[in-house]
């Protein structure tokens, strides 16, 4: 076996999984106003950006060849309510951001998060009852409306990340009724109730709202794999164009099983906690950041992921360009 490993050209020729900038999606955190850019302390190198700053970052991503960005809002706490109604504001932060990016970067893929947790004062992904239980059907109605708001603004892909039952079907039918036949749905089909989301919740301001509560009544148990196949199959049947597995590195087996079983595009989310661990270890001098990031991203590709949402995207794209 060592003969094909002896020289670089041979290793290149027999390499089974390749990583390209075209496999990367850059998640971005957007905040309203001017001069309000702030660092996300738990995610070194990541910032919450106002629209003007965000446009510059997206311009850099486009220059590097990154094909798409995913938007996540940090809205003013005064706008947060129990029912997350600010998510439906056609003049809200996300629609305005999408419209600006669509104008500035017409070829860029724009992905929007369809979920209510950034907009609720309790931090859950939906409308809750008196006992704090998330109401499925009422939430689904709101999510379908939110998806239309994003499509109206120019989003290419709406990505429901809430894990409500039946929301993909409701969104697909609503998009079709409004004439958005080419708007894609990226379903967070296997989203686990993971401990790796902490830094993200800090970034979008939902950690404080959520408090000591959790999302185990609708996100998946990390112990379950067969259930993930059931969830993914349901979302595909309801009209999802692409399915997501989240988190990524701890769930490579789910990515592989999904790809082998369904043969559809599978995306992975290299989540905030995974990002933060590599950054922290690299800053301590314990690992080679570049080597570990690229190895991790190749692992997603090897498992079967067509694309990876990763906060490493700008660095990785630069490294791949210079390789």
Q: Quick one: which of 1, 20, 19 has its CA closest to 10? A: 1
Our answer to whether residue 34 is catalytic in this structure is: no
Residue of 80, 215, 246, 279 with catalytic role: 246
Residue of 191, 215, 259, 279 with catalytic role: 191
Could you please report the per-residue DSSP string of 231-277? HHHHHHHHT-SEEEEES-GGGHHHHHHHHHHH-S-EEEEE-HHHHHH
User: Strands 47-49 and 24-31: what pairing?
Assistant: parallel
Q: Quick one: which of 163, 142, 166 has its CA closest to 218? A: 163
Rounded to an integer, what distance in angstroms lies between the CA atom of residue 289 and that of residue 294?
9
* C-alpha neighbours within 13 Å on the C-beta side of residue 209: 28
Our answer to whether residue 191 is catalytic in this structure is: yes
CA distances (Å), 207 to each of 181, 220, 229, 273, in order? Answer: 35, 19, 29, 14
Determine the Cα angle at 167 with ends 158 and 228, to 5°.
Answer: 95
Sign of CA dihedral 274, 276, 279, 280: negative
Q: Which residues are catalytic?
A: 191, 246
């Amino acid at each position: 076996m060592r003969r094909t490993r002896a020289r670089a050209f041979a290793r290149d020729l027999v390499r089974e999984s390749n990583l390209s900038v075209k496999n990367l999606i850059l998640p971005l955190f957007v905040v309203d106003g001017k001069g309000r850019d702030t660092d996300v302390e738990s995610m070194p190198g990541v910032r919450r950006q106002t629209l003007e700053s965000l446009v510059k970052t997206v311009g850099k991503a486009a220059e590097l060849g990154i094909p798409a960005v995913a938007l996540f809002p940090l809205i003013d706490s005064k706008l947060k309510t129990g029912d997350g109604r600010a998510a439906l504001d056609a003049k809200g932060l996300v629609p305005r951001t999408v419209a600006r990016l669509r104008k500035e970067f017409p070829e860029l893929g724009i992905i929007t998060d369809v979920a209510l947790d950034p907009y609720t004062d309790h931090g859950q992904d939906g409308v809750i009852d008196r006992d704090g239980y998330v109401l499925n059907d009422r939430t689904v109605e709101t999510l379908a409306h939110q998806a239309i708001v994003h499509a109206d603004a120019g989003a290419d892909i709406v990505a429901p990340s809430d894990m409500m039952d039946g929301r993909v079907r409701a969104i697909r039918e609503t998009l079709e009724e409004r004439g958005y036949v080419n708007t894609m749905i990226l379903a967070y089909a296997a989203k686990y109730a993971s401990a790796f989301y902490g830094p993200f919740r800090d970034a979008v301001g939902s950690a404080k709202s959520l408090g000591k509560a959790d999302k185990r009544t609708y996100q998946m148990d990390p112990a379950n794999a067969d259930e993930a196949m059931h969830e993914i199959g349901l979302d595909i049947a309801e009209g999802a164009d692409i399915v997501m597995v989240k988190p990524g590195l701890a769930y490579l087996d789910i990515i592989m099983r999904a790809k082998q079983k369904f043969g559809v595009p599978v995306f992975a989310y290299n989540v905030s906690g995974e990002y933060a661990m590599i950054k922290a270890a690299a800053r301590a001098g314990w690992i080679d950041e570049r080597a570990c990031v690229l190895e991790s991203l190749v692992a997603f590709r090897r498992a079967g992921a067509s694309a990876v949402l990763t906060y490493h995207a700008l660095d990785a794209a630069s490294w791949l360009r210079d390789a």
